[in-house]
A = this chain, B = another copy of it.
Amino acid sequence: MNAEIIAIGSELLTPHRTDTNSLFLTEHLNRLGVDVVYKTVVGDDRERLTATLALALSRSDLVLSIGGLGPTGDDLTRECAAAALGRELRRDDSLVEPIAARFRKRGLPMPEINLRQTLVLDGAVVLPNPNGTAPGQWLEHHGRILVLLPGPPRELCPMFENLCVPLLREKVPPAAIRTRVLRLTGITESATEERIAPIYTQYRNPVTTILATLGEIQIHLKSFGKDEAEAQARLEEMFPRIEAAVGKYAFSRCGESLEEVAASLLRSQGHTVAVAESCTGGLLAERLTSVAGSSSYFWGGMVCYDNQAKMDWLDVPAEAIETHGAVSEKVAQAMAEGIRRRAGTSWGIGITGVAGPGGGTPDKPVGLVYVALAGKRETKVLERRYPGERATVRWQASQSALDMLRRVLLPGGD
């Protein structure tokens, strides 16, 4: 079964907004074995929207529209779907009360325009919306399925998961797509390709894709089967071979983020960490504490931008800064050891570097970063020269720091 997604709204055609609902829908559709073959964004324009819906229904088994179900004159999805299908819109009186109730709860009368939200395509099943005033609609038409979904994610997501997925499960022929993502760091795209090409070229199913993002390489495997078990079995045969080929560069096997992996290693070993940051300015602390329950392993952190702060707060010797400069192996080491001592944690991390755009010199160019990890026995320091601009350099530095921590916590250490 093929699907296409139509995201509706003129704001999605501006430079300021992009559709992300389709990612959520795609994930659920893929799990059911439904492939998404087109995504279209169209504005609040009667003629274009009608043409887009008609075209989609002429070429795809399942058409999901997102948005345009509000009460205002801009919200044209119901009318355009009716025009595209050649069906009437009828008022469903049972929909009036739930909408009126939402307004009453806020002490307001229901505006007349909200009655537009009670119009239903002839023959459609209404999908109740407990999180908003716009009900969804599900219509089967000449062997195709059209689903009208509301735009706000907190309305769309539960409606799709709770109502559409069970309905689709009955319609979809028994076939399945399973995907798995292996996330790597500390290795380039071409080096990854070199390691895994001898394996993946042996398979036409699963299909392998390598994607490079900042400080990370992802290997996507997508398998097809006549049912979930077959698709899963295909994945399980191939996945361990790919995994073995990339070794310790792989930090995540089920989609977890690098900070989640570091967190779970710290937690399982009862270890704690504290961080001292200069050029990353709090990004490393922010990532470590973005994980729920981080108070069990994260003690605290210091962002020491000023040199005086490095001396006062971390006991970095003035002499180290004078002799080697604030961006140096020695200062990174002193920061890591200083924060570990002050916090009394198992591990201390120090980061100092030139994030740019200013502050670079021929000796110490923008992108030069030192990351130090202090433990009970020793302090390791990494020197890196990252390409890119300020945010890019900072992200990569935090990525290296988290990866150093992850690797030292792996069974057998780094």
Interface residues of A (CB under 8 A from B): 10-20, 22-24, 26-27, 30, 35-43, 45, 48, 52, 55, 179, 181, 209, 211, 218, 220, 222, 275, 277, 280-286, 288-290, 292-295, 298-306, 309, 312-313, 342-343, 356-358, 390-391, 394
Which residues of chain B have C-beta atoms less than 8 A from A275's C-beta?
A: 303
A194 CB, min distance to chain B CBs, angstroms: 13
User: A17-B211, A48-B37, A288-B281 are known contacts. Are A299 and B305 too (CB-CB below 8 A)?
Assistant: yes
Which residues of chain B have C-beta atoms less than 8 A from A20's C-beta?
A: 18
A-B contact pairs, 14 of them (CB 8 A): A11-B209, A13-B35, A14-B222, A15-B30, A16-B23, A16-B181, A38-B48, A40-B41, A282-B288, A282-B301, A290-B394, A292-B358, A294-B305, A300-B313
Which residues of chain B have C-beta atoms less than 8 A from A26's C-beta?
A: 13-15
SS class, residues of chain A in contact with chain B: mixed
Q: Are A282 and B292 in contact (CB under 8 A)?
A: no
Among B220, B285, B358, contact of A281 (Cβ-Cβ < 8 Å) = B285
Tell me, in angstroms, the Cα distance from A374 to B351 when the chains sit together.
Answer: 28
A66 CB, min distance to chain B CBs, angstroms: 13
Which residues of chain B have C-beta atoms less than 8 A from A342's C-beta?
A: 312-313
Q: Are A357 and B289 in contact (CB under 8 A)?
A: no
Tell me, in angstroms, the Cα distance from A280 to B282 when the chains sit together.
Answer: 10
Tell me, in angstroms, the Cα distance from A301 to B283 when the chains sit together.
Answer: 12
**Number of copies of this chain that the complex holds:** 2
Which residues of chain B have C-beta atoms less than 8 A from A390's C-beta?
A: 290, 292
Among B24, B283, B358, contact of A282 (Cβ-Cβ < 8 Å) = B283
A186 CB, min distance to chain B CBs, angstroms: 20
A213 CB, min distance to chain B CBs, angstroms: 9
Tell me, in angstroms, the Cα distance from A45 to B37 when the chains sit together.
Answer: 9
A54 CB, min distance to chain B CBs, angstroms: 12
Tell me, in angstroms, the Cα distance from A292 to B48 when the chains sit together.
Answer: 44
Q: Are B27 and A15 in contact (CB under 8 A)?
A: yes
Shortest Cβ-Cβ A-B pairs, 9 listed: A281-B289, A282-B285, A282-B282, A15-B27, A300-B309, A301-B303, A282-B286, A39-B41, A285-B303
Q: Are A309 and B38 in contact (CB under 8 A)?
A: no
Which residues of chain B have C-beta atoms less than 8 A from A35's C-beta?
A: 13
Q: Are B27 and A13 in contact (CB under 8 A)?
A: no
Q: Which residue of B lies closest to A29 (CB)?
A: B15
A156 CB, min distance to chain B CBs, angstroms: 15
Among B17, B52, B298, contact of A305 (Cβ-Cβ < 8 Å) = B298
Q: Are A293 and B40 in contact (CB under 8 A)?
A: no
Q: Which residue of B lies closest to A288 (CB)?
A: B281
Given contacts A11-B220, A282-B282, 6 further A-B contacts (CB under 8 A): A16-B23, A18-B22, A38-B41, A282-B288, A282-B303, A290-B394
Q: Are A306 and B295 in contact (CB under 8 A)?
A: yes
Q: Are B357 and A220 in contact (CB under 8 A)?
A: no
Which residues of chain B have C-beta atoms less than 8 A from A42's C-beta?
A: 37-38
Query: Which of A19, A52, A309 neighbours the largest number of chain B CB atoms within 10 Å of its CB?
Result: A309
Q: Are A300 and B290 in contact (CB under 8 A)?
A: no
A190 CB, min distance to chain B CBs, angstroms: 10
Tell me, in angstroms, the Cα distance from A304 to B301 when the chains sit together.
Answer: 7
Q: Are B292 and A281 in contact (CB under 8 A)?
A: no
Tell me, in angstroms, the Cα distance from A356 to B357 when the chains sit together.
Answer: 36
Q: Are B302 and A302 in contact (CB under 8 A)?
A: yes
Which residues of chain B have C-beta atoms less than 8 A from A293's C-beta?
A: 358
